[in-house]
Structure 1
Amino acid sequence: MLIDWKNRISWEGLITSALSKNIGNDYAQIIRDNAENIQYRDDDEGTCNLFAGKRSRSDIIDSVSKELKKFVTNIQAYHACRTENVETYYKNGLLPLNPENIQDLFHKIFCEPEGLFSLEEIKCAISVVSIKTRENVTHVALDDRFLIRRCGHYLIYGSEYLNCLSVHLPRGGEHTRDILKNFGNATIFSCQVPFSWIETDELFELASCMIAEHAYSLAHNKTDVSNLDFAITVQGKIPPERICSHYHPEQIRDPYKQCRIWNDKKQSYET
């Protein structure tokens, strides 16, 4: 069974089933009758407090986690990047950071052919930027809308490591980072990740998000699904057969420019 955050039909039945079994078949009506206690789409506390006499918050979330784990095989996910060649992803998959490859690209952008910076200046920037927290993991998000609206730096400037290198050049800063926009295209890959790859802590948090969204929709008669800030950390790579498709978003919020809209097709900011 595949679930997709943006398609609530794909997962909401599992939430309904788990909550009915754990806190009673009348839970939905109780939520509707206490709508004023459910103020936020991203917080399950108000919902769980309604049933504190029956089950603890931990028990409620755990019941949903178990239901998801029992029935879900894959989950829809998205990876944001900036690339000149999408075909390498379909050949090699979504790969963890390769420092040498990024350093070669860094050298290509800032040292060749115009010679914006010397080789020694390139090496200096590389020496001061750590890669410890970036080793052998691949990050994917469950909502591509959030990537475009809140994490646009991955799409506009590319790799976070490359981004950091650019601003650590001598005399570096916003103007050196802006050069990165001249290379590649903003790209979002759609993929299906095995649900078994989700860590226990991540699963607990995902169940919490789904409970909160489900309860808010019941309390306030909503049919849409909110933008979700949720990432899965995968150990190693995501194989190419897990990639379904890709697209190039044009209008992206730039967190480094007061969230101005960058139009990647026009290579300019919208007014």
Structure 2
Amino acid sequence: MKRIAIIEELVEVKLTSTFNLSKEYTHIRGYHGCRPLDVETYYLNGIKPLTKNDMLLETLHRLKGTYIDDKKIRNAFEKRWQSELSSEEGIWFTVSTEELLNSGHYMIYGSEFIQAVAADLLSHDLLKNHGIPTIFSIDIPLSNISVDWLQCLESNIIQKNTSGGYHTNSPILATNVISHIHPNKIIDWHNGGEIYFNKI
């Protein structure tokens, strides 16, 4: 039976001295900020870590512009792929929606990797032309999260802390994509902390 830990709720209650996240719950509610081209694909396919080819196609689509040709995009992509990909790749989540709204570049510009490619091409603002700012509520199986991250999450719960994020390298099944919202106002730290208004 699915037992979901919702950290925003757990920090508001008094926990017993024997509290153990892994023993008491099967899933943890996480929030994933992104700028999807089609929201429904998340409910149909879940979320999967992108392969190199998937990421390239996504980059080409989002950076299509009158002054950038495919060759320049491909070259910038290859440089970034070789230099920046690390063991920390995967699907990232926060434990609260507030955290995402205060660091909203995922919803405004999308993937951090594609943002880096766009920055190299001086075309960061083009990323606002595709997709819609979205926060998904996801139930992540605890078995998909590393022991280190689980210990960090448990420590944060005990300390009543709802900041920070965590990640998994495992795909998220469509059945664990619970709901989504399109926030109206997001803080844009790439633009001096101004408020980004979602007009879509």
Question: What is the TM-score normalised by the length of structure 2?
Answer: 0.87
Shift of 1:134: 6.7
Q: Where does residue 7 of structure 1 map in the other structure? A: 9
- Report Cα offsets for 1:29-53 as digits up to 9, x if no partner: xxxxxxxxxxxxxxxxxxxxxxxxx
User: Do the aligned residues in 2 keep the contact of 1:80 with 1:187 (CA within 8 Å)?
Assistant: yes
Are positions 1:265 and 2:199 aligned together? yes
Match of 2:125 among 167, 172, 178: 178
Where do 5+ consecutive residues of structure 2 fail to align? none
Shift of 1:254: 0.7
User: Do the aligned residues in 1 keep the contact of 2:32 with 2:137 (CA within 8 Å)?
Assistant: yes
Q: Name the Cα RMSD after superposition.
A: 2.2
Greater gyration radius: 1
Are positions 1:140 and 2:140 aligned together? no
Match of 2:149 among 202, 221, 227: 202
Q: Where does residue 103 of structure 1 map in the other structure? A: 56
Are positions 1:123 and 2:74 aligned together? yes
> 1: distance between equivalents of 2:152 and 2:88?
23
- Percent of aligned positions with the same letter in both sequences? 29
5 Å-filtered alignment, 1:1-271, equals 1-8=3-10, 12-13=13-14, 15=15, 17-18=16-17, 64=19, 67-111=20-64, 115-130=66-81, 132-133=85-86, 137-150=90-103, 152-169=104-121, 172=122, 176-213=123-160, 228-265=162-199
Shift of 1:110: 3.5
User: Do the aligned residues in 2 keep the contact of 1:96 with 1:135 (CA within 8 Å)?
Assistant: no
- Report Cα offsets for 1:201-222 as digits up to 9, x if no partner: 2222222212222xxxxxxxxx
Tell me which amino acid in the other structure corresponds to 1:255. W
> 1: distance between equivalents of 2:87 and 2:106?
14
Shift of 1:100: 2.1
Where do 5+ consecutive residues of structure 1 fail to align? 19-62, 214-225, 267-271
The structure showing larger relative contact order (alpha-carbon pairs under 8 Å, at least 6 residues apart) is 2
User: Do the aligned residues in 1 keep the contact of 2:22 with 2:142 (CA within 8 Å)?
Assistant: yes
Classify 1:118/1:195 alpha carbon distance in 2 versus 1 (closer, same or farther; 3 Å): closer
The structure whose residues are more often helix, as a share, is 1
**SS of match in other structure, 1:101:** helix
Aligned length: 196
Structure 1 range deviating more: 127-136 or 190-199: 127-136
> 2: distance between equivalents of 1:183 and 1:125?
20
User: Do the aligned residues in 1 keep the contact of 2:27 with 2:141 (CA within 8 Å)?
Assistant: yes
> 2: distance between equivalents of 1:252 and 1:98?
29
Shift of 1:135: 7.7
Classify 1:12/1:118 alpha carbon distance in 2 versus 1 (closer, same or farther; 3 Å): same
User: Do the aligned residues in 2 keep the contact of 1:76 with 1:142 (CA within 8 Å)?
Assistant: yes
Shift of 1:2: 1.9
**SS of match in other structure, 2:8:** coil
